[in-house]
Structure 1
């Protein structure tokens, strides 16, 4: 692989990205600063029956990451056994129907499937994934890509099992073999800053509970056939009355709240 060529491509992409993020940060800086310095926000949230644990005030750090197209699934698909497999070269997605479905319950499904994915003949590169309850439902178990740089909450590196009538019947898989750091680490917003900013912008309703607040990488854009990832806070909010949950996404660098477009898609292509 020509790493000098890859590096040159990422430098070009990153230059364009810098301009985009600078404009985004300038537009949002005043809003983020005013909400994060409001020390009474947490007290006000509790008065409105919004439940949450202790909010971390530490500002960590993260990177801009990049990846090249990954054909590792196609190259290793012949290792899989006891399943009918299809591979889409355009989306680089593997789809599998299990010949023998797997019985699971709400209580044991993670343990059962954690064991299942460890075997290469069941799932390719299973050790590269981690169960994500935040993204999962009763009918789907979502595993996200992991690396030493962090978790990837994105459809470009995801393993999703489908459950029907208490049995795992199939799965889809995408994979990213490696990530490249495009820039030195930068400071990110703290959990407390993100939560209070969401509340200040009317994104957290009264009588709700914050179930999860996780930091992970997700796709920002694709340029010159390379994918750029950025750190994003994923905050799950559950309504105490309706029991319905929703996920809010916040740019960890700028504090911008990420909105979906009219067709339900956006540059931050998280599940």
Structure 2
């Protein structure tokens, strides 16, 4: 990518970010924030039978990241074997039906599929993905890209295996070739800040367990064909009575709670 093209992308990105921040301000009623992150909040949570591990109090750093659509999957799709493959040129997505279904159990599925994705004839660029138990369930195994900048929890870069009757029958895959740092690093909220803020805003019910609290990048917006990603805390909460799990999302830069989107996308930041 030449320098002038990078300059153009930067101008588009920052203009788009200005628009987003303005719209966020106008729609601030959808976002809730709190400064209640003190020790008394943690004590109160435990009294209300909310279970969680040790909360990290350190503030880390993260970036605004950008990417452009990649045709790497289309260009390498002929390497795949023993599967029926289709490619969606609009969404840059591979959809595969395996010729030989893979029998798995709850205890061995990770080991089996970790090995499966390492072979290029099975999955393209599989060694760039890592299993995400937080995003997975009994019918889907979700793998996410991981690198020096962190993991990406977004449907623009995801490998999802479908499990039916104890067998992996196929998968879908999207891929981001590279992520570009768009701005100097910024401080992000700590795990403790995020979880106590969720509780203070009635987002964590009594008698529940926090099973995951992970920081990952997800799509913020699209600008002229480029995708901009922002760091988001994904906090998964399991109700001890109903056994139902929900995942809350928090903007890691601002601490604002991200309400569910109206388009059904579970992972995109609003």
Alpha-carbon separation, structure 2, partners of 1:151 and 1:80: 25
Q: CA deviation at 1:20?
A: 3.1
Partner of 1:35: 36
Partner of 1:123: 123
Alignment of 1:93-112 (within 5 A): 93-112=93-112
Q: CA deviation at 1:269?
A: 5.8
Partner of 2:77: 77
CA shift in 2, pair 1:75/1:179, >3 Å: same
Kept in 1: contact 2:83–2:98 (CA 8 A): yes
Kept in 2: contact 1:154–1:269 (CA 8 A): no
Partner of 2:261: 261
CA shift in 2, pair 1:267/1:157, >3 Å: closer
Alpha-carbon separation, structure 2, partners of 1:253 and 1:263: 24
Q: CA deviation at 1:19?
A: 5.3
Kept in 1: contact 2:153–2:267 (CA 8 A): no
Q: CA deviation at 1:211?
A: 0.1
**Counterpart secondary structure, 1:21:** helix
Q: CA deviation at 1:32?
A: 4.0
Q: CA deviation at 1:18?
A: 3.9
Q: CA deviation at 1:145?
A: 1.1
Partner of 1:155: 155
**Counterpart secondary structure, 1:105:** coil
Indicate yes or no: 2:241 matched with 1:241. yes
Alpha-carbon separation, structure 2, partners of 1:164 and 1:252: 35
**Post-superposition CA distance 1:130-172 (Å, at most 9, x none):** 0000000001000011121110000000000001111100000
**Counterpart secondary structure, 2:229:** strand
Indicate yes or no: 2:220 matched with 1:220. yes
**Counterpart secondary structure, 2:199:** helix
**Post-superposition CA distance 1:108-138 (Å, at most 9, x none):** 0000000000000000000110000000000
Aligned length: 268
Q: CA deviation at 1:43?
A: 0.4
Alpha-carbon separation, structure 2, partners of 1:267 and 1:82: 31
